[in-house]
Structure formats: C-alpha cells, structure tokens
Chains A and B, each alone.
Chain A
C-alpha cells in the first residue's frame, strides 16, 4: 500500500503540473474509486489551483464525474461506492474521520448536469443553503444574500419580480443559473460543475460560460464538459481522462495545441470518444 502510494507519487510528477507561483487549493493523490468490486478510477494524482478554472474532458464513462464527486464526497451517497487514496482541501484530508462532510460540502459546492431546482420558490431555493449553515441571522441579511447570489449568477434582472414563484417554473437555462446561484449562496471555496451546459441551448450555454469566467475571480471552479470548445473557452487548465486514468493535465492552450500523449491527441482531434 505504502509502496504503491510512493510509486504513484513519483509517477505523478509529470501529470500534476504544479507551478510554484499558484497556490494549491485541492490535491488528489492516488485516488481510486470502486463501484462494488469494479475499480472505476485507477489512482488519480492532480492538483487544483486556487481561483483557476480546471476542465475535465475525456470520452464517456472514463471517470470524470466519478472523480468530481470524490472532491466533495458525493460518492458517499452512492451505495457500494468506495474511495481510497488521499484527497486534501487546503492541506486537510477530506476523507479523514474527524472531518464533517456537511461542512465540506458547504466549502466545495456542486452544480449538476441536469438543473435540479427544489420544488420551492426561487427565493427559497437560494435561501436554502444559507439558512442551513446560519449564514444570515436576519431576514434582511437573507434577502441580501439572495440578491447578491442571483446578481452573481446573472439571474437577478430576470427573476427579481417573481422571487416567490416556483423555481421549477423557470426555463432550463434559468434553472441552471438558479442552481449556480444556489451553490454560490453558501459562499463555497470550490464549485464543482458536472456538464452544467449539456441540457442547455447555445444562448443559455453562452450565459453560463460567461458566468463561469466571472465566478473564477472569487472561486475555484472544476468543470466537466464534453464540449472541447467550451473547455477551450472557459478553462485555464484542462485534464484529460481516459478509461479511469488521468492521462494528462496542462494549460488549456497546451492541451489543445501540443498534447504530450497520443491518446489526448486522438481524442481532441476527434479520432475516438
């Protein structure tokens, strides 16, 4: 076990791609995920820098979502799913027994592939997280949090007159931005997005992409996408996954212009995937 870790640490040097200048937000060392007996992720080593937008690309079923869910322990909610290895947030092991997973998820928020607003009013959707974590003590403060989050998500102008209407009544793109606002409202440090635009039309997608770029000023963002133009547009760095392995991670421009690995090149030139 120890040996294994050491070996993969050594091997990781190449793929981790740490730059001395940037502060590291999260690290993964030899992260493996098992669904039952089947190993779906074979030892991933990756550093996520503060305030960067990191994109995960790779063919379907290669483990992008699986790895993303490791980062805020959403894998815990899946029966028979087991995670080994070391994943740290600001140097703290997030799989440590003493760590409160509820607080972890408040620090590492998540936006899902399909917009999933709660069947509540728009206001209550946003206020849900802050209320849980006691981020606002008065109604006025809560109002302010809601307004700020909606402004950040670029949704305020569209919904400010109907905050009491159900969130499920919004359009798909608005719902997704509502979900982003909902995640932003708890002031997380990292936001994980699993294919946030796959259910949206091009215009809504453009809005969400713009939003991601803006959010990157304050948050660290990890985004899974199947759309390579999207990865190229929004991300600083891109990680390529293939069959449960992290093949390569580098500056987005490098990945798309001069990938080191043959598999990456094949994928981005559309030869498989």
Chain B
C-alpha cells in the first residue's frame, strides 16, 4: 500500500471517528443527567484525534527508521570485505540490493549473496509494513473505543482539544526555530574547521584576500584577510544608503503628508513593486545599463569610472532598497499622532515647518530603525554585486573602482570545482557567519529602536 493511500485511509477513519464521537456525545447528553461540558463537535474532534494521531505517530516513526532497520537486517548476508569497506562502497552495495529487492533490477548479473540479501530485505520489509499496519489499526481502534467510553458530561473535551491545537502550533514554530538554530550551528561547525587552518587573527584582521586555489596538503594556503571584503561591502552599502535614504525618506514624507488618498493608494503598491523585482534583474540592469552609463559619464567629465564598480552596484542596490526605507518610514510617519501636527499647525506653522520641526523629530527613532533594516538588507545583498561590483578584492577607497564584497566572495568560493574540506571553501562559512552576525546585530538594534519608538505613543 502506498503511503499517500495510507494517509488518506487514516483521514477518512478520523472522519468516521468524529461522527461516532458526535453521535455518542449526543446520546450521553440525552440520557445522562446534567449538562455536557463542551459542545458535541469537541467530543467528535477529541475522538478523531485519539483515533488518528497515535497511528499517525507510529507511521511517521516507522517511516523515519525503516531504512536503517532494513539495512541492519541484511548486514549479516554481506561478505566481510564489503562490510568492512568504506562508507561509499557499502552504500553502493546496499543500493544494488535495494534495487534487486524492489524488482527494479541491476545492470549486470547480481552475485549470489546479493540475491539472498535482497530476498531477506523484502521479507523484512513485508513483515515490517504488515506489523506497522497492524499496530496502526490497533491503536486507532483502541483510541476510538477508549475515548468513546470516556465521553461523559464531565469530560472537558474543549480544553483537551485546545491543548492539542496548542501543541500543534508549538510544533510548527519549533520547526522554524530549530531550522535557524541548525543553520547557525552548522555554520559555526564549518567555520571552526576553517579556523583550524587559518588563525582567526589572520582572518579578521588580514588586509589581503588571496586564497589561491585548492592546495590541500601543501603548506601554502593563500591569505584570507576579511578586511578588503568587508570594506567592499561597506562601501557598496554606503553608496546604496546615500541613494535610498534621501529618496526613500522624501517619498515617505510625500506619501504620508501630502499625497491625496487616491494617489497614495495607487503609488504605494507601485513603489513596493520595486522590492519585488528579482535581484538578478537588478543585477543585469546594473551591468548592461547603469554601468556603461556611469562609464560614459566619467569619460565626459574626465574621471575614470569603471563600468563595474562600487558605484554601479551601490546605486542600483540603492534603488532596490528605496521601498524598504520609504514604506517603513511612511508607516512610522503616519503613526505620529494628529494631535502633534495640530499643535504645530495651530500655532501658525506651515505644513513643511510642521514636518521638519515636529513630525520628523518625533518619528526619528523609528526612521533610523527603518534605515538600519534597509542597511542590513544591502549588506546581505548578493546578486547585484556579483554582476556589477567588478569582483576585485583589493583594499582601496575609490568608489569608481571595482570591489568585491563578502557575499560575492562566498559565491566565488563555493562555485566551481571545489573540495569541501579545503580552507578555500570552508572560508565561505566563516564569511557567512560574519555576515550573519553583522546583519543580526543591525536587525536587533533596528527592532529595538522601532519598538521603543512605538511604545512612546501608546
């Protein structure tokens, strides 16, 4: 029986269980003394849950452990030299056996031991599945019967269903949290491996980035200095913020204070579309249009501007994060109470005086928070800089020259033919971790500021 079919059967059974519970609670209510604690639906739900959930748990546990159990069961049939062979060879052997067992077959003539192992494997599989079905059926029926018998006016079905719902929600949020924690832990693990090759001091304070190519085993590993990359990231982000902050802020002020309702309701979504354009599109827009434009401009006024430079990448990235700045600041400006504006207008201030002297100062913490969020977005941005920043990890202060950033370098170190045990690729994890810590820090500070500001007016 196919797994999907199994789940469907289970769900249908739960549907019936629900009906039984419903009917049972009604008959209890009709016959017994006193009022039922919960409405009939809750008893139905409770019966359905007790009938289905334990069975489902068994199914999931079995699915998780089945491969291991089966593999363990055929080990004794394998010749000693295969068992003692290294991981990948053993895997190949097991895979062949699995293929034979499932009737899929192998290309060459299977060996004698393989056939026997395969036979054993399908037998184990068979019994395993059958006993799982049996167990599921027993659990389902037991849950059904026991819960049906528990239905009395005093059974607090509503509260019990409530706790099941809560458990479900907790489980779902736990998935997100554990994924994050898992990612961070694995990054830390890999980064630690990297630091066993290169000292953290050389990494964090090194001013030369020159990782060479994969040179496992030789003493020469190249230089892994973070500073040029970090500086590139900072330079591109600064250019981006120089574009996004004034434009975004003024857009926000216009939208929040001046724009008539109909324009606001039309323009806001359009601006937000800017944030929805895939970054790769921005990337080749930078590469094909903006870069050559700056290059030409530079020639006209006699400055040497490279087509792919910190300037190009920064400007395009700035355009990309305008909506972050504008829509967050807009929300924050709109939140400044009307009483504050009225107070100023009532004293004979003009609208722009009011905005400059009262609204913006009042909204400032929140707006700074918006800037920080936009900055963390800029720092983590990859695609635009990969295409438009020129990829030259050299430490210099000229925004018209090519630079490389932390994100670009991560891409470079992980793409192509790499050995994942070499410092050349492991450095990507150290870089990723650094980036993560920086953006996390910015986000935490930004959220703290925004929250603090919100409290002010509640």
Contacts and interface: CB of A to CB of B under 8 A. Distances in A.
Contact of A72 (B340, B341, B346): B346
Interface in B324-370: 337, 339-350, 353, 357-358, 361-362
Contacts of B341: 77
A74 B347 CA distance: 11
A133 B348 contact: yes
Contacts of A79: 261
Contact of A102 (B342, B350, B358): B350
B347 A105 contact: yes
Interface string A98-139: 000011111001101010111110000000110011000000
Nearest to B350: A102
A64 interface: no
Question: Which of A102, A182, A183 lies at the interface centre, i.e. has the most chain B CB atoms within 10 A of its CB?
Answer: A102
A45 B43 CA distance: 69
Contact of B347 (A77, A114, A128): A128
Contact of B339 (A72, A112, A129, A133): A112
A179 interface: yes
Given A114-B339, A118-B358, A119-B361, A105 B345 contact: yes
Contact of B343 (A72, A106, A116): A116
B345 A132 contact: no
A128 B357 contact: yes
Nearest to A183: B347
B362 A119 contact: yes
Contacts of B342: 74, 77, 110, 112, 116
A126 to B, nearest CB: 10
A120 B346 contact: no
A118 B358 CA distance: 7
A26 interface: no
B343 A112 contact: yes
Interface string A79-112: 1000000000000000000000011111001101
Contacts of B337: 116
Question: Which of B261, B343, B346 lies at the interface centre, i.e. has the most chain A CB atoms within 10 A of its CB?
Answer: B346
B168 to A, nearest CB: 44
Interface string A153-184: 00000000000000000000000000100110
Contacts of A104: 348
Contacts of B348: 102-106, 109, 129, 132-133, 186
A105 B343 CA distance: 11
Nearest to B260: A79
Contacts, number: 66
B345 A77 contact: yes
Interface residues on A, range: 20 to 34
Given A116-B339, A116-B340, A109 B349 contact: no
B347 A182 contact: yes
Nearest to A119: B362
A120 B261 contact: no
Nearest to B261: A79
Nearest to B337: A116
A120 B362 CA distance: 9
A110 B350 contact: no
Question: Which of B339, B347, B456 lies at the interface centre, i.e. has the most chain A CB atoms within 10 A of its CB?
Answer: B347
Contacts of A179: 343
A132 B337 CA distance: 21
Contact of A112 (B261, B346, B361, B362): B346
Contacts of A109: 346-348
Contacts of B346: 72, 74, 105, 109-110, 112, 183
A192 to B, nearest CB: 8
A210 to B, nearest CB: 23
A112 B348 CA distance: 14
Given A79-B261, A116-B339, A128 B344 contact: yes
A179 B342 CA distance: 12
A133 B353 CA distance: 11
Nearest to B358: A118
Nearest to B361: A119
B350 A118 contact: no
A186 B353 CA distance: 16
B261 A186 contact: no
B344 A102 contact: no
Interface of B: 261, 337, 339-350, 353, 357-358, 361-362, 456
The 5 closest A-B pairs by CB, nearest first: A106-B348, A110-B346, A105-B348, A116-B339, A129-B347
Given A112-B342, A116-B343, A128-B357, 19 more contacts: A72-B346, A77-B341, A79-B261, A102-B349, A105-B346, A106-B347, A106-B348, A109-B346, A114-B339, A117-B343, A118-B343, A118-B344, A118-B361, A128-B349, A129-B348, A133-B348, A182-B347, A186-B347, A186-B348
25 contacts: A77-B342, A102-B348, A102-B349, A105-B345, A105-B346, A105-B348, A109-B347, A110-B346, A112-B339, A116-B339, A116-B340, A118-B357, A118-B358, A118-B362, A119-B340, A119-B362, A128-B344, A128-B347, A128-B349, A129-B347, A132-B347, A132-B348, A132-B349, A182-B343, A182-B347
